[in-house]
A and B are shown apart, each in its own frame.
Chain A
Amino acid sequence: MYLTRRGLIAAAGVLVMTLPACAPSAPGGQTGSEQVTLDVWGWRQEDVAAYRKIFKLYEDAHPGVKVKYVPYKADEYDTILRTGLSDANGPDVAQLRSYGLLQPLVAAKSLVPLDGQVQELAGFPEPVLDGARGESDKQVYGVPFAIQTLHVIYNKGLFDKHGLAPPKTWDEMTTAFGKLKAAGLVPLATTVTDTWMLPIQQEIFGATTYGGHDYLTKMLAGQAKFTDRPWVDSLARWKSTSEYWPEQYEGVSYVDAQALFTSGKAAAFPGGVWELAAFGKSNPELELGIFNVPPPPGAAAERTLVPGYVDGSFGVSAKSPDQKAAVDLVRWMASPEFGRAFATELRQISAVPGVRPEDPLLAQALAAYQADPSPYVTYAYFSGGTPTAWDLASEAFSTFVAGRSGAGDAAKHIQQGVDQWFKPSQ
């Protein structure tokens, strides 16, 4: 028994020594009576330096407030944030995913609703606020920070070399791709194995076929379905471009596709505007251009549409000990000053109305989106329940492009999944 007692005492000793390490520290922020430190959590590790510059503007104008951007790994962020928001030691302000991915946080009542607290939100267009809205109560929970638009990004040097210009019609586009292919180039660097890119490609090549916002309005009202002709046709139209995809595209990954494009082996890359900064970094010699896919014959839309969506927003933790200061900060994030700094430092399209990006390509993307916007249907509008249309689309399109199912089957997969929870608006 002597040993047991001694063991117990030793164990108790170890426990006493380790317990303080597990104890929560003092609530982040209050270090003095006036000094407030706001922790802003996010998923962009590569943007720390840029955010430091941006928040310096706020700190200079608000003495006594320190703002710290705390980044986590993008693929672990959602899980870390869910736990972090349940505790006063978590973030004061958090970068929030948009649409469906936001809903678990809204349901857990982890966020402060911003309606009435951030008057500047009244100036944001409704489709932009949709990205930060709770599906259940329709309240806005974050100040949207970026708009992502989807395009065909092309290599200007290669287009010029082959006497090609951004196409004005579908036929012009396919003729140009045919010419590039004949010259031994990959016309379109697409990925198939990274399935999250498939719904993006479908919007880029299919939006005009189903008709963009007009069709979405009917879908939300229950008057149109994924399985109806225009949407099924949009899938077939997208896949008809597969003759211009890389050889054995079934096995091409996202990174492979990026490398094909930046190395000059591929002439164009269908993707989001966020690729521009990455492409510029990996090959500074590359002269980039963007265009959107003109309507094919028989398309529902007559004009070339530009798909886009809200990337995310900044919201306030309901558990923040400095909630007032945190709300003040997100209010500033809805101002043109923040928008301009964000666009300049991060080379992205700010969601703040009236802020024009300095980068000419981003300015072109934003102007085109504002003139002829189209929704990212599966990601933005059918993501409030489980399974989301985006998950269903990623799975179904993977089977579809591998040639194991038809366009109708893929559409049916999405519709069947969504029908389990989606209620059309009256």
Chain B
Amino acid sequence: MTTGRARPSRAARGGYRAGRTSPAWIAAFCLPALVLYGLFVVVPLGTAFYYGLFRWEGIRPAEFAGLGNYGEVLTRYPLNEEIPAALWHNVLFFAGTMAVQNTVGLGLAVLLYRNPRGKRFFQTVFSLPYLISPLIVGYIWSLLLSPTFGPINFMLRAVGLDSWARPWLGDPDTALPVLILVNAWQWIGGPMLIFLAALGGIPRELEEAAAMDGASPSRAFWSVRFPLLMPAVGVITVLTFIGCFNLFDLVYALGGSDGGPGGAMDVLGLLYYRTAFEGGTNAIGESSALAIMIFILVFGASLVLERFLRRREVTP
């Protein structure tokens, strides 16, 4: 900034003006990212689409099948029933995560914003689980929740709450809520940090003006601060949505590839895994078709969600 202000003449000569930047420079800066994106995103996506058009015999494409694999995946029992069930579990998981992780994350952010004492410490503590792989988190929690050796049920029994001690991950009623809570435990630091940064960016004068106009603290929050947090809410919602629909490692560690008791935690990621790695002779064709369908669903819904949230943004 200082340098830019000190030498206005150089900018005026046009050396670094955006309009005149040489295309070669732009290409040089974009190329590495573009190559990586192309190699690891576009090429696999194109390959999956291409593979999905063939019937496979092991690792050998046998014949062109057109949309046959898509039809097979959507009609074959029990896949035809597992896809909507898994999709519904993803939706519930998203709703639960929004309700628990992001709401509590916002609450923690507001608390830390209002009480800066120990802010650094708590920021670190709440963000620590970020450093652990979801697979490890899953295995640790499955040990904690084990009905035979797990300390959680042991403690519940020790304080006389025997009826509360449940087979948490083995009961179809509790498995999905437990999954949502464990996931929130791991990622709650993310929304908290984003909200904290967004809160710091809201001009104090706005709140002071609201207070002078007689607004209560909660009214000031909902009418002044929250609308200004909408860009952060939007970013977090879209990120949560994508994370929730790409869920795999945590649920795999907690419930295995079948998705827990009676498939109560079965999600699209597990369904893809089973089709691809536990499928039969045509596993490549069918799993590629399924992957493309999941991609279209997640990508399309993300776009709609983003549009919807953008419309609700306000600027100070």
Contact = CB atoms under 8 A, between A and B. Distances in A.
A binds B: yes
Interface of A: 1, 3-4, 7, 78-79, 82-83, 85-86, 100, 103-110, 192-195, 246-253, 256, 259-260, 385-388, 391-392, 394-395, 398-399, 402, 404-405, 413, 416-417, 420
B77 interface: yes
Interface string B208-244: 0000000000000000000000000000000000000
A192 B283 CA distance: 27
B171 A79 contact: no
B262 interface: yes
A101 to B, nearest CB: 9
B147 interface: yes
B57 A107 contact: yes
Contact of B58 (A108, A193, A252, A259): A108
A386 B169 contact: no
Interface in B32-82: 57-60, 76-79
Main secondary structure of the interface of A (DSSP, over half): helix
Contacts of B123: none
5 contacts: A79-B277, A100-B280, A249-B167, A386-B282, A392-B78
Interface of B: 22, 24-25, 27-28, 31, 57-60, 76-79, 142, 145-149, 153, 165-172, 255-256, 258, 260-263, 274, 277-283, 286
A150 B85 CA distance: 34
Nearest to A401: B261
A1 B24 contact: yes
Given A82-B59, A246-B147, A386-B286, 19 more contacts: A4-B27, A104-B281, A104-B283, A107-B58, A192-B261, A193-B170, A193-B255, A246-B148, A247-B147, A248-B153, A251-B147, A253-B142, A259-B148, A386-B281, A387-B76, A387-B77, A399-B172, A402-B170, A402-B172
Contacts of B280: 100, 103-104, 385-388
Contact of B169 (A82, A104, A251, A388): A251
Given A83-B59, A256-B146, A398-B263, A250 B78 contact: no
A402 B261 contact: yes
Contacts of B79: 387
Contact of B258 (A104, A252, A256, A395): A395
A149 to B, nearest CB: 25
Nearest to A404: B262
Contacts of A248: 147-148, 153, 165-167, 170
B168 A103 contact: no
Contact of A252 (B27, B60, B76, B148): B148
B24 A3 contact: yes
A420 B283 contact: no
Contacts of B282: 386
